[in-house]
């Protein structure tokens, strides 16, 4: 969410009515999330000036660990230097820390491609935004789940019950520090996640939703402590011992 919102912001800056705007003091502290959207808190160091040049050799974009040769345009300006400076700063301050860690495994190659392409400045902001929107579409639609074995058949579903809430085993990247609360496309994906975790014996699909509209599922190690709840369904591994209480 943070990276996509940043890319949308940089897309606007690259195509603003004032021309291409560069953020000269590009640091994470310069941004804040407001209602799910990333905003710039300080525009004092923004500029529409693009580096003047006489030849291509005048247009090297320098960073502490990398440099990129750019073209000198016919009007004597380094082509796309403001856009590329913003994009590489987004890569080194945001993408490298946030993109690799929390996506479903099937989507990580797409994010890795974005990471590599922006890190080498092979993508401009237009291509980067399209790539992010493609990943978001796959994520929201569940298309990344194709060709997976169906595992929900290995679970017993009990309508009108849920497991007692409390501190349980932890997982990454959980939305709760007390247990394992993950974003899913549906019960079938939740079953696949539970089957892949040795501690997991049951799960419920909660009423909570993420910013993409996907539900959150709570995964638990003990399926025996159940309480009535008309709005939920608890899914329990057939191999799990339900005990006398059930």
For the entire predicted model, the pTM comes to 0.85
Q: Is the pLDDT of residue 208 over 80?
A: yes
> Quick one: residue 185, left, alpha or beta (phi over 0 = left, psi -120 to 50 = alpha)?
alpha
pLDDT of residue 5: 95
User: What's the CA gap between 37 and 34, in Å, rounded?
Assistant: 5
Work out the pLDDT band at 224, boundaries 50, 70, 90.
low
Q: Domain 152-244, what fold?
A: Hepatocyte Growth Factor (3.50.4)
For the domain bounded by 1-144, which CATH number is listed? 1.10.510.10
Residue 241: pLDDT over 80: no
Q: Give me the residue spans of the domains in the chain.
A: 1-144, 152-244
Domains 1-144 and 152-244 share a fold: no
Beta-carbon neighbour count of residue 146 at 10 Å? Answer: 8
> What confidence score (pLDDT) does residue 42 get?
80
**pLDDT at residue 196 tops 50:** yes
* 25, 45, 58, 225: the active-site residue: 25
Closest to 24 (Cα-Cα) out of 52, 56, 4, 49: 49
pLDDT of residue 34: 92
Question: Which of the four pLDDT bands, split at 50, 70 and 90, describes residue 240?
Answer: low
- The average pLDDT across 99-118 equals 90
Angle CA 117–118–123, to nearest 5: 70
Q: What is the mean pLDDT of residues 229-240?
A: 84
Q: Where residue 166 falls among pLDDT bands split at 50, 70, 90?
A: low
Is 229 considered catalytic here?
no
Evaluate if residue 244 carries a pLDDT over 50. Answer: no
- Is 177's pLDDT higher than 90? no
pLDDT digits (tens, 9 = 90+) for 43-97: 888 999 989 999 999 999 999 989 999 999 999 999 999 999 999 999 999 999 9
* Average pLDDT over the chain, rounded to an integer: 89
Output phi, psi for 130, to 5 deg.
Answer: -60, -40
Q: Do β-strands 46-47 and 22-23 pair in parallel, antiparallel, or remain unpaired?
A: antiparallel
- Summarised one tens digit per residue, pLDDT across range 119-152 is 999 999 999 999 999 999 999 999 998 777 889 9
């Amino acid at each position: 969410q943070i990276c996509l919102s940043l890319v949308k912001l940089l897309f606007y800056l690259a195509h603003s009515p004032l021309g291409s705007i560069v953020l000269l003091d590009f640091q994470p502290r310069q941004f804040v999330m407001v209602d799910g959207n990333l905003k710039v808190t300080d525009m004092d160091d923004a500029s529409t000036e693009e580096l003047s040049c006489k030849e291509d050799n005048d247009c090297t974009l320098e960073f502490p660990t990398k440099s990129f040769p750019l073209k000198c345009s016919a009007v004597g300006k380094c082509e796309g230097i403001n856009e590329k400076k913003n994009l590489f700063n987004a890569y080194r301050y945001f993408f490298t820390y946030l993109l690799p860690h929390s996506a479903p495994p099937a989507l990580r190659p797409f994010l890795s491609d974005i990471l590599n392409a922006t890190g080498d400045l092979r993508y401009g902001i237009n291509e980067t935004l399209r790539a992010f929107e493609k990943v978001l579409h796959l994520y929201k639609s569940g298309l990344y789940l194709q060709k997976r074995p169906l595992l929900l058949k290995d679970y017993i579903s009990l309508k009108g019950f849920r497991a007692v809430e409390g501190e349980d085993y932890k997982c990454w990247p959980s939305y709760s520090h007390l247990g394992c609360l993950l974003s899913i496309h549906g019960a079938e994906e939740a079953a696949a996640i539970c089957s892949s975790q040795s501690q997991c014996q049951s799960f419920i699909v909660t009423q909570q939703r993420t910013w993409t509209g996907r539900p959150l599922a709570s995964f638990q190690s003990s399926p025996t402590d159940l309480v009535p709840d008309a709005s939920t369904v608890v899914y329990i591994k057939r191999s799990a011992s339900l005990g006398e209480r059930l």
